Amino acid sequence: MLSLVSCVGRVVVLLAAVLVTTSITMSGEWGEEGVTYGQLGKDVTLTCAGVSPGSTATWQWNGAPALPEDSAVQQGQLFLPHAELSSEGLYSCHDASGLLLSSITLRLGRAPGLPSISCRASNYENFSCFWASSLETFLPTKYITTYRKKQLPGSENRRSPTSDVGLCVQDPAQPFSCTVSKSQFWSSYRMNVTEVNPLGSSFRLLDITVQAIIKPDPPEGLRVEPVPSAPRRLRVSWEYPSTWPKEPHFQLKFRLQYRPVIDNSWSVVETANVSEVITDAFMGLEHVVQVSARDFLDAGSWSEWSAEAWGVPATGLTAVPSEAATAAVESENPAEGPSLAPQNEPVAGRSDPTEKVAVLVSLGVFAFFVLAVILVFAFLMWVRVKKHSKEATKNHDLLAAAIHLKALPKAQIL
């Protein structure tokens, strides 16, 4: 029993000594043979391999006998208190005759901190996760990325526990990212990103649902073309992002924004098509256009805006010079002055024959209903007045008969 307590005590003392006074890792797995890793700000002790017990050893730093400040040699070991980056280098120990016994390359750094993680699905077939270290360690670092698909309640007995666990594959060409392929759109996953360096490891977990992290790539092939004989129209067209599979059940909707280059305010239009006609462009002015995409069921978020495209409406007989068009844009605000739009062009810039016909039809229907309401109201008033007139005539006849009866002699009445 006493021997067990003694062993436990020795282990505790040894661990305390390692954690408090020494922080060293010898590692060949990091591709740097003969390198010793120490923790910044901690006490580091370098041991001279090959020195005989009781014999003395001398140390050199980067080939010179001068050692870092506050360092000390104790029983053949080199003690570096509160080691800093300036203490890194090649250390060598020698016997009394100057013979080289061993050499050590010391690198100093920090243990990993908690990495930060974010995930995004550019389509409904796979998603990617991205991470960043929260601490500068000054040491070589590796990342282990795994996932576990979260099972629905009651499905634990229908699948093997290992069937929903896998590696998030890392691409050497894109560091700090990994991809999970063939993911399920309505499923949830728990991501694990573990940061490892020669001094330790640290991990972060992140729970995600694929539909919540959908964010398509921006649409591609944006084109802006003038419409012939329409000086206030521009035809804009684009294509689905190449990373989004074209399936009938997973489509995109789009958001188009445009403005004259001389104005800073955007006009925005949403559409389910891959083309749109701008009907309120300013004649003679160049316009800048962008488009973004989102899942048509509003899953996730909008994509980033596409690269800008430019276009100028077609020049027609009614087009005004560029200076006048510029003045028209700047005078849109009523507080700055009256509109300088051409007299033969509506200020709103959105009217066309179809719209005019629709407006006339709407006004005709509205007038018909108003006339019908007026006629019904007049008919009800006429019925009421006629009824009131009949009642008044009847009451007048009764009153006249009563007066006549009262005026007759009593004998005649009897």
Q: Could you write out the DSSP letters of every residue in 288-356?
A: EEEEEEEETT--S-PPPPPPPEEE-PPP-TTPPPHHHHHHHHHT-SGGG------TTS-SSS---HHHH
Give the whole-angstrom CA distance, residue 40 versus residue 83.
6
Residue 232 forms part of a structural domain = yes
If you average pLDDT over every residue of the chain, what do you get?
A: 79
Establish if 250 belongs to a structural domain.
yes
Looking at the structure, do residues 194 and 226 belong to the same domain, yes or no? no
Cα 81 to chain centroid, rounded: 47
CATH of the domain at 36: 2.60.40.10
Tokens of 317: 């007989």
Last residue of a domain, one of 109, 133, 161: 109
Note the pLDDT of residue 399.
54
In a domain, 288, yes or no: yes
Is the pLDDT at 371 greater than 80? The verdict is yes
Query: Alpha-carbon distance 75 to 58, whole Å?
Result: 10
Distance of CA 116 to the CA centre of its chain: 15
Q: Are residues 165 and 93 in the same domain?
A: no
Partners of 121 in the β-ladder: 214
pTM of the predicted model, to two decimals?
0.62
Kindly list the distances between the CA atom of residue 77 and the CA atoms of 22, 104, 108, 253, in Å, as whole numbers in the listed order.
Answer: 12, 12, 18, 70
387, part of any domain? no
Q: Cβ contacts of residue 17 below 8 Å, gap of 6+?
A: none
Contact in structure between 214 and 124 (CB atoms under 8 Å): yes
Structural domain includes residue 413: no
For residue range 296-331, what is the model confidence (pLDDT) as tens digits? 999 999 999 999 999 999 986 544 444 544 444 454
Residue 69: which domain range?
A: 2-109
Q: What's the domain count of the chain?
A: 3
Residue 249: pLDDT band (50, 70, 90) is confident
Give the residue carrying structure tokens 């007026």. 374
One-letter amino acid for residue 44 of the chain: V
User: Domain ends where: 296, 318, 336?
Assistant: 336
65 and 165 fall within a common domain = no
Q: What is the pLDDT of residue 318?
A: 44
Q: Has residue 230 got a pLDDT over 80?
A: yes
pLDDT at 376: 87
The verdict on residue 91 lying in a domain is: yes
The tokens describing 368, both together, are 């018909």
**Residue 42 maps to a domain:** yes
* Pair 184, 254 in one domain: no
The answer to whether 34 touches 89, Cβ cutoff 8 Å, is no
pLDDT at 395: 61
Listed residues 307, 336, 365: the one ending a domain: 336
Confidence of residue 152 (pLDDT cuts 50, 70, 90): low
Residues 226, 203 share a domain: no
The predicted structure's pLDDT at residue 184: 85
Q: Are residues 16 and 63 in the same domain?
A: yes
For residues 260 and 288, state if they share a domain: yes
More confident residue, 169 or 156: 169
- Asked if residue 264 belongs to a domain, the reply is yes
Pair 64, 163 in one domain? no
Percentage of the chain modeled with pLDDT above 90:
47
pLDDT at 319: 41
**Across residues 115-133, what is the average pLDDT?**
94
* DSSP-based three-state secondary structure for 68: coil
Same domain, 140 and 243: no
pLDDT value for 404: 56
